[in-house]
Structure 1
Amino acid sequence: MSVAWGEPALPGCAGCGRAFAAGPAGWWRFAARCAACGVRQGPSPWWTVPVGALAAGAIAASLAGRGWVLAAGLLLSVAGVLLVAIDLAVQRLPDPIVWRLAVAVAVLLAVAAATGGGWPAYGRALAGGAALLGAFGLLALLTGGQIGLGDAKVAGVAGLLLGWLGWGAVLFGGLLALLLNGVVAVVLLALRRVTWRGSLPMGPALLGGVLLAVVAAGGLAQVS
């Protein structure tokens, strides 16, 4: 999936052209390096593994005892690491991953509602997802591409989980994502790594803000 927008997905190794396995087997058998030529095909596990473990651990600690809501949070954290890696590589958040993640999170939260979580919470989850999708979609139009529609779609998915936790989590997660992205932009501008007309991948800041909002909301719920 790590190709620029509009380009077809890679059918095989970028180095030697060895074809990936077809269908789901191509995911399950995927390795960080090509078995034939040794060229790296994916992000380094030296950062994805600890970041993924940290994110999943924080979600597990914050949503402990919440059953299907915890499952939705863990799924979002694991898929989030994949999305961050792709966004850092090519500034893209692929629809095939995002829409499947949206369906899975919505289904898990529906099961949570049906098994005791309450349908009002599920309705708030859907509203939270729609709110962040609309807010970031509007920002994408107003900023001329500084925030992409892919960012808006991921914000909508994250809004499902944040909405379940409450409107405070939705607001905090959205604002924190923008704040983190702004801080990163200022630092990179100061270091002359980007220009004023350049663009940054927002996926890391967006998903990082969501993670912190979930942790904060889960901590407040445990205190109360």
Structure 2
Amino acid sequence: MSLDSSVTMLSPAVGAIFGALTPLVAYRLSVPWGEPARAGCASCEAPLPAGPAGWLRFSARCVSCGVRLGPSPWWTVPVGAVSAGLTAAALSGQGWVLAAALLLSVAGVLLTAIDLAVRRLPDPIVWRLAVAVAALLALAAATGGGWAAYGRALGAGAALLGVFGLMSLLTGGQLGLGDAKLAGVLGMPLGWFGWPLVVFGALLAVLLNGLVAVVLLALRRVGWRGSLPMGPSLLAGALLALVVVGLLLPAAG
């Protein structure tokens, strides 16, 4: 069995594992801006264990009162498995570019959970992702991917950061600066494959967010002046764009 096929087969399992670990981490980080991570159960106030045991646990229920902490693993696990599996299948053979995309796919589940809970994307996570993705793409460039593609990736990240940052200012905060920063990170792997994919991924994100808004309006879950977290749509748009380019890569070759 080749390395590429092994990565493709194992990626859904890895995504599922990260999805199972997501609820407790999301619970602890789903706090208003400027506040420290949660240190205990919001229901019974029992403290969480210190160290890694208080963060990395498959069971996201309070050991004292049994209340669920964070989002349901019934959606974080399958979303993690599907997003990682699709990414690996689409970008099989892309080496370090695949590694960067897989990192975004598993971290995206955590960011989605936090954004849905408190409508913010924590800067420490987003900036660490930016550094990691830039480093992985630099390895891809150094091992045969080409520095022109790397320069385009950095340029695309800066461009999406600027465009969505301007949109945030023009909409009076309806689109958050955290969304703009995430768009900048997602722009890097999209830009690696060319500017058309950058535009396609950004438009997909806006379209998906609009469709969700229409559905929620029809169900009367939000009002006309309400707003939605943009992070999940940005992540889904980038994933779908990468899947599309993955389908086209064999034909292009």
Could you say which TM-score interval applies, normalised by the shorter chain?
over 0.9
Q: TM-score, normalised by structure 2?
A: 0.84
The match for 1:205 is 233
Which residue of 86, 89, 98 corresponds with 1:61?
Answer: 89
CA drift of 1:28 comes to 2.3
Is contact 1:113-1:121 (8 Å) kept?
yes
Which residue of 62, 85, 105 corresponds with 1:34?
Answer: 62
**2:176 equivalent to 1:135:** no
C-alpha distance in structure 1 between counterparts of 2:176 and 2:150, whole Å: 27
CA deviations over 1:66-113 (Å, ceiling 9, x no partner): 111111111000000110111111111111111111111111111111
C-alpha distance in structure 2 between counterparts of 1:23 and 1:170, whole Å: 39
Larger displacement relative to structure 2 (181-190 or 76-85): 181-190
**2:131 equivalent to 1:93:** no
C-alpha distance in structure 2 between counterparts of 1:203 and 1:187, whole Å: 17
| Unmatched runs of 5 consecutive residues or more in structure 2 | 1-28
Is contact 1:80-1:207 (8 Å) kept?
yes
**2:30 equivalent to 1:2:** yes
Aligned length: 224
CA drift of 1:4 comes to 2.4
CA drift of 1:30 comes to 6.4
- Once the two structures are superposed, the pairs formed by residues 151-162 of structure 1 within 5 Å of their partners are 151-162=179-190
The match for 2:22 is none
CA-atom RMSD in angstroms: 1.4
| Unmatched runs of 5 consecutive residues or more in structure 1 | none
C-alpha distance in structure 2 between counterparts of 1:29 and 1:192, whole Å: 36
**2:239 equivalent to 1:221:** no
Q: Which amino acid aligns with 1:32?
A: A
CA deviations over 1:140-168 (Å, ceiling 9, x no partner): 01111111101001101100111112111
List structure 1 segments (4+ residues) > 6 angstroms apart after TM superposition: none
The match for 1:144 is 172
CA drift of 1:24 comes to 4.5
The match for 1:124 is 152
Over the matched positions of the two proteins, sequence identity in percent amounts to: 75
C-alpha distance in structure 2 between counterparts of 1:136 and 1:94, whole Å: 17
Change (3 A) 1:124 1:201: same
Q: Which amino acid aligns with 1:215?
A: V
Q: TM-score, normalised by structure 1?
A: 0.95
- Once the two structures are superposed, the pairs formed by residues 166-177 of structure 1 within 5 Å of their partners are 166-177=194-205
C-alpha distance in structure 2 between counterparts of 1:168 and 1:31, whole Å: 42
Larger displacement relative to structure 2 (15-24 or 39-48): 15-24
CA deviations over 1:100-131 (Å, ceiling 9, x no partner): 11111111111111111111111111001001
The match for 2:218 is 190
The match for 1:50 is 78
Which residue of 141, 149, 162 corresponds with 1:113?
Answer: 141
C-alpha distance in structure 2 between counterparts of 1:15 and 1:217, whole Å: 46
C-alpha distance in structure 1 between counterparts of 2:111 and 2:148, whole Å: 30
Is contact 1:21-1:29 (8 Å) kept?
no
